Amino acid sequence: RPGTVLRSDRTMVRFDDVTRRFGDTTAVDRLDLDIREGEFFALLGPSGCGKTTLLRMLAGFERPDAGRILLAGEDIAAVPPWRRPVNMMFQSYALFPHLTVAGNIAFGLKQDRLPKAEIAARIAEMLRLVRLEGLGGRKPHQLSGGQRQRVALARALAKHPKVLLLDEPLAALDKKLREETQFELMALQERLATTFVVVTHDQEEAMTMADRIGVMNHGRLAQVGTPSEIYEQPRSRWVAGFIGDVNFIEGTVAAADAGGVTITDPGGRRFRAAGPTTAGIGDRVTLAVRPEKLVVATGTAASATAEPAPDNTVTGKVGDIAYLGDMSLYKVRLDDGTLLKASVTNARRRTEQGIDWDDMVRLSFPPDAAVVLTE
Ligand code: ATP
C-alpha cells in the first residue's frame, strides 16, 4: 500500500512443501509459501481451492499429510492450536450470546489464567482498538452487525497473537458495511503491525486490503504478488481471467526480439506486445489486454480504405453499451465474431460522445498494455 510503514523482510509463516488430502481430494498440493512479518496477506481463490484448509493447518485445526509449517522459523507440527501464537477471527455469529462484549473479549484470557488486572487492561485496550469504548457491558444482540464484527475482531486480538487468521471475515456484512470494515481492518492492521492472513473468494476485497495476494487454484498457488503485480502481470490465462475483466487475443508469434513479440491472429491481424517473454517464433500465445487499456475511437477510416490496419488496431461494431456510473463498458464485435470489451471512464466518455449501438468503432492498445501468456 502506498505511503505506509515499511514491512519487515523477515518470514513469519513458511509453508514448506505442504500437502493435505481428504480421501481422494488433494486439498493442498505440495505448496510452498512465505508470509512476511507484519504483512496483510490474502489467500484468494475459487470455492474448494484449498484456502481454508491452508488456514486451518496454520491454526492447528488440521494436520498436513506431508511438509512442514514454520512460524517465526520454528516447526509448529507438535504445538497444539491453543499454544500457537496464532488466533482465528470467526464470524460475528460465533460470539457467545450470553456473555457481554467484555466477557467475550476476556474469554480466551481467562482460559489462559491471566491475572485479573491484566485481563481488565486488555479489555480496555481492545475496546479502544475497535472503537467500542463504553459498550463493554452490552450483549451481542444489543449491537449492530458492524459492531458485532468488531467484537469478534477484538476477541481474536486480545491474546496479542503474532498472526491473525481471518476466514471470509466480512462475508456476513452488506456491501456498504463490508467496504467500511475493509478500511477499518487495514487501519487496524497498520497500527498493530500484526501479520494478518485473510481468506477470501472476493477479489475486490483481496485487492483492497492486502499487501500481497496468493491466488490459489486446485490446492496450488497460481501466483503470489502485490495486487498490482497480479492485475498488471498475470502469469497465466487462469489468473488473468480470475482477477478482473480481460480480453484474450490468441495468435502465433511472427517476430520476437528483446523488446517484445509480434503475433498474428487467425484473421491475419498483427499485434505487438512489449515486455519480456520466453515465447519464440512459431509459438502459440495469448495476449491479455484489460478492457480499460483499449482505446475506443469512432470512424471507419481503417476499414473503408484498402490499406492494412496498423498493428494493435481492430475495427468492429458496438454490440452493447453498459452504463456503470463511473464508467461505460462497450462490447465490440469484430467481423470474425470475436467479442472485445472496452471500458471508458464516463468523465472521458463525454469527449467521445456519439458512440452508439451498431456504430463502427476502432479499438487500439499500446504494446505495453498487452501481457504475453504462454500458459
Ligand atoms: P470455500 O471457499 O468454498 O470455503 P476453500 O478454498 O476454502 O473453499 P477448502 O475448504 O480448503 O476450500 O477445501 C478444499 C477441498 O478439500 C475441497 O474439495 C473440499 O471439499 C475438501 N475438504 C475440505 N475439508 C474436508 C474434510 N474435512 N473432509 C473431506 N473433504 C474436505
Are 58 and 195 spatial neighbours (Cβ–Cβ below 8 Å)? no
| Residue appearing with cell numbers 462490447 | 331
Distance of CA 372 to the CA centre of its chain: 21
Tell me the CATH number for domain 11-240. Answer: 3.40.50.300
> Which residue CA neighbors atom 14 of ligand 1 most closely?
50
* Structure letter (DSSP) for residue 64: -
Per-residue pLDDT, averaged over 176-199, amounts to: 91
Tell me the CATH number for domain 247-373. Answer: 2.40.50.100
Distance, CA of 84 to CA of 155 (rounded, Å)? 16
Helices (H) and strands (E) in the chain, counts: 10, 20
Sign of the dihedral defined by the CA atoms of residues 47, 48, 49, 54, in that order: positive
Domain ranges for the chain: 11-240, 247-373
* ipTM over cut 0.90: yes
Average pLDDT over the chain, rounded to whole? 90
pLDDT, residue 302, reads: 45
Give the H/E segment covering residue 104. helix 101-111
Whether the pLDDT of residue 303 is over 50: the answer is no
Q: How far is the CA of 50 from the centre of ligand 1 (A)?
A: 6
> Which residue CA neighbors atom 3 of ligand 1 most closely?
47
DSSP-assigned states of every residue in 299-327? --HHHHSSSPPPTTEEEEEEEEEEE-SSE
| Residue appearing with cell numbers 479502544 | 128
Neighbours of 224 (CB within 10 A): 19
Distance, CA of 39 to CA of 36 (rounded, Å)? 5
Mutate to test the pocket of ligand 1, among 51, 58, 166, 168 (most ligand atoms within 8 A of CB): 51
> Which residue CA neighbors atom 27 of ligand 1 most closely?
22
* Coil, strand or helix at 264: strand
**Residue in 50, 46, 45, 47 with CA at minimum distance from that of residue 22:** 50
DSSP-assigned states of every residue in 226-263? -HHHHHHS-SSHHHHHHSS--EEEEEEEEEEETTEEEE
Q: Which atom of ligand 1 sits closest to the CA of residue 49? A: 6
Bridge-based pairing of strands 163-167 and 360-364 is unpaired
* Coil, strand or helix at 282: coil
Residues whose beta carbon lies within 6 Å of some atom of ligand 1: 22, 25, 27, 45, 47-53, 201
pLDDT tens digit sequence for 216-272: 999 999 999 999 999 999 999 999 999 999 999 999 999 999 889 999 999 889 999
pLDDT band, very low/low/confident/very high, at 330 (cuts 50, 70, 90): very high
Percent of the chain with pLDDT over 90: 72
Whether the pLDDT of residue 166 is over 60: the answer is yes
Whether the pLDDT of residue 103 is over 50: the answer is yes
Whether the pLDDT of residue 273 is over 90: the answer is yes
Neighbours of 119 (CB within 10 A): 18
pLDDT band, very low/low/confident/very high, at 209 (cuts 50, 70, 90): very high
Distance, CA of 70 to CA of 64 (rounded, Å)? 12
pLDDT, residue 326, reads: 86
pLDDT tens digit sequence for 362-371: 999 999 999 9
Cell (9 digits) for 163: 498472526
Mutate to test the pocket of ligand 1, among 19, 47, 51, 53 (most ligand atoms within 8 A of CB): 53
Q: How far apart are the first and last CA of the chain?
A: 29
Q: How far is the CA of 54 from the centre of ligand 1 (A)?
A: 10
Are 253 and 372 spatial neighbours (Cβ–Cβ below 8 Å)? no
